[in-house]
Structure 1
C-alpha cells in the first residue's frame, strides 16, 4: 500500500460509514456478523471510532428533538418528520464534527495527519509528513500519526531504520509490541519478530520502555548500544553492540549470520519467509550457521541447509518446514 494522507473525500466517506453503522447497530435486525464487521471497521483507523462516537452524540441530539404536530395525512407527516430530522442531523453534523475534530486535536486525541506504509518485494525508503525518513525492510508495515503533543509511529510488523527530524517540542514515539521508543531526533533501528523487539541506536539517544503501562519509565540508550525486550518484560535488557555487528546489513539487501546458533538465527531468517521455519528440538537449535545471504533469496537458504549443515528437513502438520539434526553415530567400543 502506498503512503497516504486522508483527503476530504476520504474523511467524508468515514463520516458516511459512521452514520451507516450508527443506524445498523441500533436496528432490530442487526445480526452478530454485522457487529463483528463493525468492530473490524472501527479498529481499522483511529478516526473510525472517533467519528462513530460523534455520530452517537448526533443521534442523541436528534432523538431529543420535538416532533411536529400532524397537519396532513399520517404517511406524509412521517416523511416530513424523517426528512426534517435528517436535515437537522446533517446540520448538527456540519457543526459538531469540525468542532469535535478541532477539540480532539487540541486535546491530543485526534491526529491531523495519518500515513500508512509497507514494504513487500523491496526494501523501501519513505518520508513522513514531519520530514523524517524511514527505511522499511521486506515484510514490514507501519503507520504514522501526527498529534498535537507528539509524532507517533506504530510498527505493526517487521523492521525499520529511522532518521528522525529534530523537534524537541514534538517528541517522536515508536510503538513496537508492548514497548515504546521515545526520541526528539536521532537515527536508530527497530526490529520486531512475534513478541520480541530489538532497538539499535546509531546516533543521538533514545528512551526505551518495554511496558506500555509505564511509558515514561524507560532506559536511556547511547550510540553503539542496543535494547531487547519481550512481552511481559518489566524493563528492557541493555547491552553494547560489537564493532563487527552486521544486524543492519538488511539496508544493503543482505542477511549476515555470523556463527549463530540456529535458535538465534531462525528469528532473523523467518522474517523473510511466508511460513516460519521450525526447530525439531533444542539440540538442533544449538547447531551453528554462518554466511552472507540475499534477503530476497532466503527460500534458497532454507533449501540449502541440508547441504551445509548436519540436518535434514521435514514438514509439520501445519505445513511448516522443520529442521532436524542428523543423529550422531555412537562409536563402537
Structure 2
C-alpha cells in the first residue's frame, strides 16, 4: 500500500480523482489513466485511498452514527470545502494531496479495513492494497485490517491461500483461533477444520506462534503444521502441495483418509446433511480425487470403492449405510 508520506504519488492520485470527478471519460483519458495505474504498483492503492478520502467522509442519509468515523469526517469537512471552492484544478489537486498526506492513523486504518466471505461452493480471489493476493475457498470469511506498521488479516472461518508481497518494514500476519502466522516472503495455505488450524507453506517461509507455545516455529516451503483450539502446536511434517491446493482446481484429494473426514470436506462445499447410519463406518479409508462441485459424482465414487450404499432419508439427509 502507499504510505501517507509519499506526497508525489498522493498528488498524482488526487489529480486523477479530481479529473475523473470532472468527467474525464474520453478514450484517450481512460487510456492515460490506465497507463498511470500500470506504471507503479503503488498507484492503484494511492488512487483508492484518495477516492475514499474524497467520497467516504460525506455521510449519507440514514447512516448509523459511528464515533470514530464522525471524528474523522470532522477533520476533513473544512478541508474538503476549501478544495471544492478552488477553481484551479492544480490547486485543488495540491490541496487534496496535502489532505491525504495528513490523514491520521485512525482514518488510515478505517480506509484499509474490509471483510470478504464466500458461501458454500464459492471461491473468491482478492487483490489487497499492498499487492498481496488472497484466494478464499468455500464457506470462508476473512477480515482485513491494514495499519501504519502492520498488515493483519483474520481468517474467521474456512480456508485461504495467501500470496504475500513481502515488506520487512510492515509484517503480514494471519490470525486464526489460538494462533498467528507471520509471513517471511511466501505463499501458504491456512485451513480451519473442526479440530484446529493447519498451515501449509508452498513457497518461502512463515513463522507460527500460538497462545500456548513458548517458541515460534519457522516453517520452510514444503512444511505443514497443525495447532488446535487450545494453541497446542504439533510437529512440522512434509505434505503434498498438489493435494492441499487441489481445491483451487475444484478437486478434493484424499489419501487413505477416514470416511468421516471425507464427509466433513464434502459438507463444506454443499448445503446437505451427510450422515453415517453405522458409527463403525467412520474409519473406512478413502483414497482418490473427487470433484468438489459435483456431490452426486463424489458419492458414487465412494460407494463404488467401499462396501456401502447411499440413500436419502425422509428428512432430506443423505445417509451412508451398509
Q: After TM superposition, is the score higher than 0.5?
A: yes
- Which structure is larger by alpha-carbon Rg, 1 or 2? 1
Which of residues 296, 300, 306 in structure 2 aligns to 1:309? 306
Q: Deviations over 1:145-182 (max 9, x none)?
A: 21112111122322211110010010101122332211
State the alpha-carbon separation in 2 of the partners of residues 148 and 259 from structure 1. 46
State the alpha-carbon separation in 2 of the partners of residues 11 and 279 from structure 1. 54
The structure with higher relative contact order (CA 8 Å, sep 6+) is: 2
Which of residues 234, 247, 263 in structure 1 aligns to 2:244? 247
| Structure 2 unaligned spans of 5+ | 1-47, 79-98
| Structure 1 unaligned spans of 5+ | 20-47, 56-89, 327-333
Determine whether 1:17 maps to 2:63: yes
Name 2:196's counterpart in structure 1: 196
Normalising by structure 1, we get a TM-score of 0.62
Instruction: Check 1:11–1:155 CA distance in 2 against 1; reply closer, same or farther (3 A cut).
Output: farther
Name 1:268's counterpart in structure 2: 265
Q: Deviations over 1:249-274 (max 9, x none)?
A: 12222111222111332332222122
Instruction: Check 1:123–1:92 CA distance in 2 against 1; reply closer, same or farther (3 A cut).
Output: closer
Determine whether 1:140 maps to 2:140: yes
Instruction: Check 1:125–1:267 CA distance in 2 against 1; reply closer, same or farther (3 A cut).
Output: same
Instruction: Check 1:143–1:299 CA distance in 2 against 1; reply closer, same or farther (3 A cut).
Output: farther
Instruction: Check 1:315–1:93 CA distance in 2 against 1; reply closer, same or farther (3 A cut).
Output: farther
- Give yes or no for contact 1:174–1:180 (8 Å, CA) kept in 2: yes
Alignment of structure 1 residues 40-59 onto 2, 5 Å: 50-51=68-69
State the alpha-carbon separation in 2 of the partners of residues 323 and 50 from structure 1. 53
Determine whether 1:181 maps to 2:181: yes
Q: Deviations over 1:51-103 (max 9, x none)?
A: 48x69xxxxxxxxxxxxxxxxxxxxxxxxxxxxxxxxxx979958xx9xx725
Instruction: Check 1:309–1:261 CA distance in 2 against 1; reply closer, same or farther (3 A cut).
Output: same
SS in 2 for 1:131: coil
Cα deviation for residue 124 of structure 1 reads 3.8
Name 1:116's counterpart in structure 2: 115
State the alpha-carbon separation in 2 of the partners of residues 132 and 181 from structure 1. 15
State the alpha-carbon separation in 2 of the partners of residues 282 and 263 from structure 1. 10
Q: Deviations over 1:172-211 (max 9, x none)?
A: 0112233221114211111123462111011221122333
State the alpha-carbon separation in 1 of the partners of residues 307 and 56 from structure 2. 56
- Give yes or no for contact 1:273–1:299 (8 Å, CA) kept in 2: no
- Give yes or no for contact 2:184–2:204 (8 Å, CA) kept in 1: no
Cα deviation for residue 14 of structure 1 reads 8.1
Q: Deviations over 1:35-64 (max 9, x none)?
A: xxxxxxxxxxxxx57448x69xxxxxxxxx
Name 2:318's counterpart in structure 1: 321
State the alpha-carbon separation in 2 of the partners of residues 204 and 10 from structure 1. 38
Instruction: Check 1:241–1:269 CA distance in 2 against 1; reply closer, same or farther (3 A cut).
Output: farther
SS in 2 for 1:271: helix
Name 1:104's counterpart in structure 2: 106
State the alpha-carbon separation in 2 of the partners of residues 224 and 154 from structure 1. 23
State the alpha-carbon separation in 2 of the partners of residues 317 and 238 from structure 1. 45
State the alpha-carbon separation in 2 of the partners of residues 123 and 320 from structure 1. 25
Cα deviation for residue 283 of structure 1 reads 1.9
SS in 1 for 2:104: helix
State the alpha-carbon separation in 2 of the partners of residues 91 and 133 from structure 1. 34
Cα deviation for residue 323 of structure 1 reads 3.1
Query: Across the two proteins, how many residue pairs are aligned to each other?
Result: 252
State the alpha-carbon separation in 1 of the partners of residues 216 and 320 from structure 2. 38
